[in-house]
Amino acid sequence: MPSLLRSDSDIANSITCIISDVDGVLTDGRIIYDGKGVESKQFHVRDGLGIKLWMQSGYEFCILTSRQSTIVEKRSAELGIKHVAQGHAEKGATAQSMMDSLGCSAEQVCYIGDDLPDIPVMNNVGLAVAPADAANDARDAAHWILKSGGGEGAVRELVERLLRAKKQWEACVPS
């Protein structure tokens, strides 16, 4: 998808909801199992603060992932994310259900994803975003490609860019 020929402010003004993938976006995409088969993931603390700042600014943040993980449940609860859909390989219909339940139009939604299962959602939202290290096809579907990789602060970069464009970032910075 070609870059939008609108300013960040024009794009950001309509965005009221971010829907995010997990593996490859909020994490670096690695799934680690210990000797007992217990899964672990690593999240970036700045992504967590970015999510909190987005929600404190009055906007919705949702998680949509094709995998099922108690770690995602724990991290979502920690951050106060109320809208979490796990185990949905066909993300398009689930994203639409999330938008419907929140009363959001596609133009009000930003989706950040990194791989092939994310493309149907990316193709049907107002702003499609990919981390720097996303798969080529996901990068091609994105309006914005971030400088940060998945699990390296990509969501924080996205939130900061959106809030700066909305002229709301300064209110998030302590004086």
**Tens digit of each residue's pLDDT, the chain (175 residues):** 444 478 899 999 999 999 999 999 999 999 899 999 998 999 999 999 999 999 999 999 999 999 999 999 999 999 999 999 999 989 999 999 999 999 999 999 999 999 999 999 999 999 999 999 999 999 999 999 999 999 999 999 999 999 999 999 999 998 8
Nearest CA to 42 among 72, 18, 77, 13? 72
User: Would residue 175 count as lying in a domain?
Assistant: no
Whether residue 133 lies inside any domain: the answer is yes
How far CA 67 is from CA of 48, 61, 64, 88, 125, in Å, comes to: 20, 18, 9, 7, 22
28 in a labelled binding site: no
- Give the three-class secondary structure for 9: helix
What pLDDT digit, counting tens, does each position of 35-48 carry? Answer: 999 989 999 999 99
Residue 103 is part of a domain; what is its CATH number?
A: 3.40.50.1000
Does residue 1 belong to any structural domain of this protein?
no
Q: Please indicate, yes or no, if residue 174 is contained in any of the structural domains.
A: no
Residue 112 lies in a domain: yes
Question: What domain count does the chain have?
Answer: 1
Tell me the pLDDT tens digit for each residue of 4-50: 478 899 999 999 999 999 999 999 999 899 999 998 999 999 999 99
Does some domain include residue 96? yes
Determine if residue 114 is labeled as part of a ligand binding site: yes
Q: Rounded to two decimals, what is the model's pTM?
A: 0.94
Q: Is residue 37 part of a domain?
A: yes
163's enclosing H/E stretch is: helix 154-165
Residue 121 is assigned to a structural domain of this protein: yes
Q: What is the DSSP string of 58-125?
A: T-EEEEE-SS--HHHHHHHHHHT--EEE-S-SSHHHHHHHHHHHHT--GGGEEEE--SGGGHHHHTTS
Contact assessment for residue 154 and residue 25, using Cβ atoms and an 8 Å cutoff: yes
The response to whether 34 counts as a known ligand-binding position is: no
Structural domain that includes position 17 = 8-167
